[in-house]
Amino acid sequence: ITFADHENGTVSATLVQILSQKNDRNELEMLVGSVSLTRRLSEGSYLCRSHWEQHKEPVKTVLQYIYGKEAEKELSYE
């Protein structure tokens, strides 16, 4: 997901989901394997190294939410 695309570069985030399944109570269970943030700078821009640490938890939460919504859609087709 690219969530910032401007003249200073691009910031994108990736969630690698390892497992999703329904449990005995018909609830969706998920195990998150990895979350990463990538910043590609435009020429002449500088890198704020604290950017990832400041936004790690919100980025992870948003990615998990998006993945969960997609998983719910897939399960409703079964």
Could you state, in order of their start, the residue ranges of all structural domains in the chain?
A: 2-77
Kindly provide the b/e burial profile for residues 2-12, where b requires at least 16 CB atoms within 10 angstroms of the residue's own CB. eeeeeebeebe
- Helices marked H in the chain: 51-77
For the whole prediction, is pTM greater than 0.85?
no
Question: In the predicted model, is pLDDT for residue 2 greater than 60?
Answer: no
CA 75 from chain centre, in angstroms, equals: 20
Question: What tens digit of pLDDT does each residue of 9-67 get?
Answer: 777 777 776 777 888 998 888 776 777 777 777 676 656 666 667 777 887 788 888 87
So what's the pLDDT on residue 38? 73
Q: Which residue in 70, 74, 9, 63 sits closest to 32, CA to CA?
A: 63
So what's the pLDDT on residue 25? 92
Question: In the predicted model, is pLDDT for residue 68 greater than 60?
Answer: yes
* Beta carbons of 37 and 13 less than 8 angstroms apart: yes
Backbone angles phi, psi at 52, to 5 degrees: -65, -45
